[in-house]
Structure 1
Amino acid sequence: MNSAIRRLAVAAIILMLALMANSTYLQAFRANEINGRNDNNRVRDSQFSVNRGPILIGSTPVAQSKPSNDRFKYQRTYPSGPVYAPVTGFYSYRFGRAGIELTMNSELNGSDPSMAFRRIIDVISNRPQQGGSVTLTLNAAAQQAAYKGLGSKTGAVVAIEPKTGKILAMATTPSYDPNRLASHDSTKVDAAWKSLTEDKDRPLSNRAAQELYPPGSTFKLVTAAAALSSGKYTPETKVNSPAELPLPQTTVPLVNEDGKNCGGSNNATLTIALRYSCNTAYGSVGLALGPDALREQAAKFGFGARPLAELPSVATSQFPGDPNEPQTAQSAIGQFDVRATPLQMAMVAAGIANKGEVMKPYLVQNVRTPDLKTVSETKPESLHQAVTPQVASQLTAMMVDVVNNGTGKPGQISGVQVAGKTGTAQTAKDRPPFAWFTAFAPADDPKIAVAVLIEKADIARDDIAGGKLAAPIAKSVMEAVLGQ
């Protein structure tokens, strides 16, 4: 009898210790994770009664909370709606959070450990909890120019300050109005969610950072960087550039878009080949360098790594793992299985602009308490030295030539030297190609690097080209930053 009681007592003690250990683990190590879950109703109800802090550009709110006459006390509003939606995301009682509203949730609702002292003061003074503010790096003029430039097209724009990595613009279209999801009218919110999630054009997707596309000829910048870095090429090195390039292991040749050789020559220089965006020339270079050199160079620009932790679900750009020779030639011109986000291609341009040094891109400038005390400030951080300053200078001169004399002429800005590269990426036979343009300016003292992708536009297939569609948008964004 006594032994049975002892066993029962021991079992009860073990269960109590396990319960205490689990409770301690949950509170000490998983509290933030559990509190941050969109399906945690108790926490969600509590947080909706908090005066959530604003998301700012300078001193202007692009997301803010206003008093409401219902049980939630505050209503989240987005004054500029779709313009900033890919970055701000939404804050919805029914469908949780997205964008900065998700990743910076604890700072915005005031529960972050960095604001612990403020919460203690609030408790002592019997004040309700109030969230901190998050200031973004976005440039309002550049963001407006990007959104206006995209218009009714399906696409994305990313602009970066090359020397720091600050993201100056991140716009996508079609976009959506976060106010529809932030409403306290559940019937209207459900209807809005159904409409948005069933829309075949996926307006909730941030195409600038969450979607991967074949970068087409903009990837020739990476191939040129690998060639110049190898020491075997200079901008004036002549390469094989016929109208058609026979490829090993296949009877299907690599061809130039216009069906002609490169600028009237079967042996064009690297500079001329970039000017006219010759596939055969850069396919030849890719074959000579091999896939490992291309992959390593791509990685130095950021391929294979997640570049922006401040937004959820950011896609990782990729170079194929083990391409054969025909696939390597295609990869060298940004086709086959090469995939990149507009953010990544903006990083390539920014790295070249910054003397070969790729800076870590970031969206959050600082976080402040409600009484404006700074609790965190993002400092510029270097990711990689993608190429030497000498190679970066050579690439810059080649890109200036593209804009002055080649396919990038629509990106020219009066009185400002622009360095750029166009791209037209082929996709499935039953859908139009993607149009790209990536550039930076001024070429001799870069203040902005930009990448524009047009996924779909209501024009004839033969009229789709990076210079025609994407370059004018990039021009307007650069002008907005440069004050032109």
Structure 2
Amino acid sequence: MSIYDPLPHLSHRSFYKKKRFRLILIVIAAAVLGYAIFNFSGRNLRFFLHMNSGASNLEKGRLIYAVSDFNSALNIKPDSPVAIDALGSVYVKQGDFEKAKQTFLSAAAAGLKNNRYINHTKLGSTYLDNGLYKRAELEFLQAIKINPVDFRAFYGLGCCLHAFGKIDSAIANYNKALTYNPRFDPAKKNLQMAEADKNRGAIYYMFDRNGQPLARLNLISGIENKSYALDFRAAHVTGYDSEKRGKAGMEKYLEEYIPGNRIYLTIDSKAQQASARALGWYKGSVVIIHPKTGEILAMYSQPTYRAASIDKEWRKIASNENKPLLNRAIDRLYEPGSIAKLMTIAAFYESGISESSIFPINCRGNTELSDKTFWCWSKHGRVRSIEQATDTSCNIASAFMGFAASGPKLIEYCTRFGFGTPIDLGIKDGPRNRKISIPVLTSRAPSYHFDRYDVAMHASGLAPSKKEPYLITPLHAAMLASSIANNGVMMKPYIIQEIRNINGKLIYSASPKEFKKPISASTAEKIKQLMIKVVDSGIGKRARVKGISIAGKTGTSSGDRPGLHHGWFISFGPTENPEYALAIVADNEGKGMTTAAPVAADIYTALLR
């Protein structure tokens, strides 16, 4: 055999057939094994990716996408307890608490264990920080089911129960947290706080600007559920909370924050009580704001009611024709009368008109305009200047200033001072992604003048006709005074200073914001000097307080029936560095110089002496 001849066993056809067959078997086996490995690992990988994506979307609040991701994970593993559990957290965030409870129970029944996807303690802590206690409670309960020794979850659950006023249960959970971690200081601190609340028999939840309590939740059975420190003196601010009659005031507007959070208002208890005392039995309202910030320091309405006794006295209160439930400070519009002359003077000054071009003016008590009689409240004779016109509050002089500035200019300056612009004392609720509205009735000014008579009425703060009303709230009137005090800048009013959760963590904080800049600082200074003269020696002298410089303007307008009048006085003081801007309206009680001005004097005396 030559060395080049093929070996018999290798050249045989059967050898190659067997070799090909073995190779095919190896390939098939490898393919089957690869498919099995890929199917198993790929299924887990897809599940992992859907769960991770869902958890991320849940954290970002993209709940529709989170639900889709978790359902996709359930399609891969239909009985997965972690996917079911994750859907429960979505329902918590959506506020569907019953569905969340049932879903959490299903997850536990399916064998839920601690996992990398949903951290219930972390979610609960986030809700707790934002004062969302019901959501937090459900998350902490689920965390404890998964890990019965999670001290942070027991602490968080204690905080929620504390916020609900369930003191004994809160104390028990704080103690459990300390059992599993005796060095956990937040639980120690809250345990002391809960024990103090229990001994006091109440949880304070609403405070004034200085931390003085305004409202408390009573923990002792047999007495009213809630009590209010200033009682009837701040009833329209704090409001009431009744199962039968509903809610009002802050109890209504901030009901999602009550109980559990600490609400700090801009109200100053001293100013609020001084307002109530000074207004006495007059029907009407007092509003005090800080000119530089817009903080509402007092908002009093009379007649009033006792919030804690709302159920017992409801029939008497609801049937009272004087409407004790009405907050006249923000829910009642009045004709402004002569307080609106400040806007007429502003329009005159800023139109660049020479004072000597219209003064002196002869006031005989009335004049004929467009075949109609236009009246002044008195015969002032020869009015020589704007100062004298303001001192005497002469309607005839105001009318001629209005003519000089022009009707359109009067309309413009009312708009500049905020007439027609909505005012809302509410807040933007970030954690709940909604706006909490505390609406104020919108002030209205004439928008058209048919003749000189209409211009004269507008210039004097009076409605030209029923079709062209001239109306303002006491709050807006205080803002008018504050813009003069604050160098021509009108600040946005607000009443909620800040909100903190049960642990004192800040949830919301207000900051001063400019609302309007109706006039220049130089014009504001001129008007300020006129207002000082009104109190020192003019028609507003009953507002004088010895040793305190006060700037003010009286006003009188038509009452609800013929022969009745609303009395106004707006002011600010001390004039060197204004701390208070006041608006007082005596509702159907008489002229401003005899009713409202003395009320201002009593308030300034209480606050500044």
> Which of 372, 376, 384 is the aligned partner of 1:256?
376
- CA distance in 2: counterparts of 1:164 and 1:389, whole angstroms: 17
Q: Secondary structure at the match of 1:437?
A: strand
Q: Secondary structure at the match of 1:302?
A: coil
Cross-structure match for 1:54: 205
CA contact (8 A) 2:288 2:582 kept: yes
> Which of 326, 335, 351 is the aligned partner of 1:230?
351
Letter of the 2:548 partner, please give it.
V
CA contact (8 A) 1:236 1:271 kept: no
C-alpha deviation, 1:429, in angstroms: 5.2
CA contact (8 A) 1:50 1:74 kept: no
Q: Secondary structure at the match of 2:449?
A: coil
C-alpha deviation, 1:312, in angstroms: 3.6
CA contact (8 A) 1:243 1:255 kept: no
Cross-structure match for 1:446: 578
CA contact (8 A) 1:244 1:253 kept: no
Distance change in 2, residues 1:322/1:480 (3 Å): same
Cross-structure match for 1:81: 231
Answering whether residue 263 of structure 2 is matched by residue 143 of structure 1, we say: no
- CA distance in 1: counterparts of 2:224 and 2:501, whole angstroms: 18
Distance change in 2, residues 1:429/1:67 (3 Å): closer
Deviations along 1:262-305, one digit per CA (max 9) or x if unpaired, are xx41x531111011000011012223333332222122222212
- CA distance in 2: counterparts of 1:208 and 1:479, whole angstroms: 22
> Which of 193, 216, 221 is the aligned partner of 1:69?
221
C-alpha deviation, 1:83, in angstroms: 0.4
- CA distance in 1: counterparts of 2:330 and 2:359, whole angstroms: 36
CA contact (8 A) 1:256 1:279 kept: yes
- CA distance in 2: counterparts of 1:422 and 1:374, whole angstroms: 42
- CA distance in 2: counterparts of 1:315 and 1:239, whole angstroms: 39
C-alpha deviation, 1:74, in angstroms: 8.4
- CA distance in 2: counterparts of 1:174 and 1:387, whole angstroms: 36
Question: Where does 1:46-445 land on structure 2 (aligned, <5 Å)?
Answer: 50-51=164-165, 54-57=205-208, 58-69=210-221, 75-109=225-259, 131-181=260-310, 189=311, 192-233=313-354, 238=359, 240-244=361-365, 246-250=367-371, 252-258=372-378, 260-261=379-380, 264-265=381-382, 267-310=383-426, 312-325=438-451, 326-336=453-463, 337-427=469-559, 430-445=562-577
Where relative contact order (Cα < 8 A, 6+ residues apart) is larger, the structure is: 1
Deviations along 1:221-247, one digit per CA (max 9) or x if unpaired, are 111111112122459962534224544
C-alpha deviation, 1:308, in angstroms: 3.4
CA contact (8 A) 1:342 1:451 kept: yes
Distance change in 2, residues 1:322/1:29 (3 Å): farther
- CA distance in 1: counterparts of 2:450 and 2:393, whole angstroms: 23
Letter of the 1:440 partner, please give it.
F
C-alpha deviation, 1:202, in angstroms: 0.2
Runs of at least 5 residues in structure 1 that lack an aligned partner in the other structure: 1-16, 33-46, 110-130, 182-188, 458-463
Greater helix share, structure number: 2
Q: Secondary structure at the match of 2:410?
A: helix
Q: Secondary structure at the match of 2:587?
A: strand
- CA distance in 1: counterparts of 2:516 and 2:459, whole angstroms: 21
- CA distance in 1: counterparts of 2:544 and 2:225, whole angstroms: 45
Distance change in 2, residues 1:312/1:197 (3 Å): farther
CA contact (8 A) 2:238 2:250 kept: yes
Cross-structure match for 1:120: none
- CA distance in 1: counterparts of 2:538 and 2:282, whole angstroms: 25
Q: Secondary structure at the match of 1:338?
A: coil
C-alpha deviation, 1:306, in angstroms: 2.6
Letter of the 2:447 partner, please give it.
G
Q: Secondary structure at the match of 1:467?
A: coil
* Superposition RMSD in Å: 3.1
Letter of the 1:158 partner, please give it.
V
C-alpha deviation, 1:29, in angstroms: 8.4
C-alpha deviation, 1:466, in angstroms: 1.3
Distance change in 2, residues 1:194/1:137 (3 Å): same
The alignment-based identity, stated in percent, is: 30
CA contact (8 A) 1:236 1:269 kept: no
Letter of the 1:108 partner, please give it.
I
331-340 or 390-399, which deviates more: 331-340
> Which of 434, 457, 468 is the aligned partner of 2:594?
468
Distance change in 2, residues 1:369/1:329 (3 Å): same
Letter of the 1:405 partner, please give it.
S
Q: Output the TM-score relative to the length of structure 1.
A: 0.78
- CA distance in 2: counterparts of 1:290 and 1:349, whole angstroms: 23
Larger radius of gyration: 2
Q: Secondary structure at the match of 1:238?
A: coil
Cross-structure match for 2:54: none
CA contact (8 A) 2:424 2:439 kept: no
CA contact (8 A) 2:348 2:404 kept: no
CA contact (8 A) 1:235 1:394 kept: no
- CA distance in 1: counterparts of 2:391 and 2:415, whole angstroms: 25
Question: Where does 1:26-65 land on structure 2 (aligned, <5 Å)?
Answer: 50-51=164-165, 54-57=205-208, 58-65=210-217
* Equivalent pairs, count: 411
- CA distance in 1: counterparts of 2:406 and 2:572, whole angstroms: 28
Runs of at least 5 residues in structure 2 that lack an aligned partner in the other structure: 1-63, 69-89, 98-160, 166-202, 427-436, 464-468
Q: Secondary structure at the match of 2:281?
A: coil
C-alpha deviation, 1:467, in angstroms: 1.8
C-alpha deviation, 1:480, in angstroms: 2.9
Letter of the 1:50 partner, please give it.
F
Letter of the 1:341 partner, please give it.
T
C-alpha deviation, 1:307, in angstroms: 2.3
C-alpha deviation, 1:448, in angstroms: 0.7
CA contact (8 A) 2:556 2:566 kept: yes
Deviations along 1:316-371, one digit per CA (max 9) or x if unpaired, are 11102223222221121111121111111110100000000000111111111111
- CA distance in 2: counterparts of 1:233 and 1:268, whole angstroms: 13
Distance change in 2, residues 1:246/1:360 (3 Å): same
